[in-house]
Amino acid sequence: MHTMKALWHEAAGRSNASIKMVPYPTCGDDEVIIKIMACGICKWAEISHDTVGGGGTLAKYPVITGHEFAGYVEEVGKLVTDLKAGDRVTADNAIPCGNCWYCKNGKPLLCENFGSYGHNKNGGFAQYMSIVARNVVKLPEDLTFDQASLAEPVACAVEAFKRADIQPGENVLISGMGPHGLILAQLCSHSNALHSVAIGLVESRLKTLESYGVETLLSDRNDTSTHETALTKMFPNGVDCIIDTSGAWPMVQSLMKFLKKGGRFVQYGSYHSQIKMESPAQFLNDLHFKNQTYVGVSCQVNNFPLAVEYMATGKCNVSTLVTHTFDLDNYFEALDLNKTDKSALKVVIHPTGDPNK
């Protein structure tokens, strides 16, 4: 039997996961098999899979995880005509069912039977994976596999960018300069906004954004007055849109003071720590009385072609985001580093060897 190496989860939790030899995937008529050269660790998803009782609402076990991948087309199904062996590709991990009420009414992102490679279908922490050909996107030659593995985070950021609906002349704040914040800050800098300002805690990341032409503002976790004073001077009338990727509720409370009446707040980061306020209804009442709009964005569908174009044109530069790489045998070491090392932005696994050699 033809086999391959993969990260195999029998169930959620590290004790139920191992790097092992598993059957090589079959290639359906409308599918391709990709030789995976790079697969990024999504901190939220992979730590969830690593936790007993975790995995998230999409998880279905047993499964090979990993939903941020790129590589070479290895095989093509007999109905596939626009791809061939050797093509450099990434692929959309999302598979809406096409049959539920939401899919039939043009809202596949809200699909009731949402499929996702790396969650409930075998994903990219393997030497090979099969995927429906319609999800595959070809890569330009100057985009490396490590960079292309960020197509999924960029695609999700594109969804938030679309939903923010930035209008000509508006002022925008992007909070939290992890990978998604760094991506969104660049997207917003190429938008209709008059000013889009990235707010973060790490000066080196802000300096990188500044080199791309993005306006930035350094914040202080222990003293919000640092950025509040600066924002008061920059935007005496407030801002039109806030996109928060930080997952830090105190930062949200600080920034919401600057959201104009009628403005939009986009929640892109999940708030995992306890939210403390006088009443949970106070936040909603403030939105209500100020005629503000709350927008929640957590994933994407069909944004991969646009994500690859943003990366290829340099309007979304991801060249500095991959900070660490590991081979598949050292996956758990890579995951632990991603949990603890503050310098880690994107940690990428190379299942079939170093793609740069």
CA distances from 351 to 19, 67, 209, 334 (A): 11, 13, 31, 13
Q: What CA–CA distance (Å, rounded) separates 26 from 33? A: 8
Q: Do residues 143 and 308 lie in contact, with contact meaning Cβ atoms separated by under 8 Å?
A: yes
Q: For residue 118, give both structure tokens.
A: 């790396």
Q: For residue 331, give both structure tokens.
A: 């996956």
- How would you label 31-46 residue by residue, b for 16+ Cβ within 10 Å and e otherwise? bbbbbbbbbbbbbebb
DSSP state of 330: G
Q: What CA–CA distance (Å, rounded) separates 321 from 53? A: 30
134 φ/ψ angles, rounded to the nearest 5 degrees: -65, -20
Q: Which residues contact 233 (CB under 8 A, 6 or more apart)?
A: none
DSSP state of 117: B
Domains and CATH numbers, the chain: 3-150+321-350 (3.90.180.10), 155-296 (3.40.50.720)
Q: Do residues 245 and 268 lie in contact, with contact meaning Cβ atoms separated by under 8 Å?
A: yes
pTM recorded for the entire structure: 0.94
276 three-state secondary structure? coil
Give all strands (DSSP E) within 41-161, no chain letters.
63-64, 69-76, 88-91, 94-95, 115-116, 128-132, 136-138
CA distances from 283 to 64, 199, 249, 286, 294 (A): 40, 21, 11, 5, 10
At 272 the pLDDT is 63
Q: Which residues contact 255 (CB under 8 A, 6 or more apart)?
A: 173, 175, 199, 231, 242, 244
At 278 the pLDDT is 54
Per-residue pLDDT of the chain (357 residues; tens, 9 = 90+): 799 999 999 999 999 999 999 999 999 999 999 999 999 999 888 988 998 878 778 899 999 999 999 999 999 999 999 999 999 999 999 999 999 999 999 999 999 999 999 999 999 999 999 999 999 999 999 999 999 999 999 999 999 999 999 999 999 999 999 999 999 999 999 999 999 999 999 999 999 999 999 999 999 988 999 999 999 999 999 999 999 999 888 888 899 999 999 999 999 988 765 556 555 677 888 899 999 999 999 899 999 999 999 999 999 999 999 999 999 999 999 999 999 998 999 999 999 998 876
Cis peptide before 280 (omega within 30 of 0): no
DSSP state of 132: E
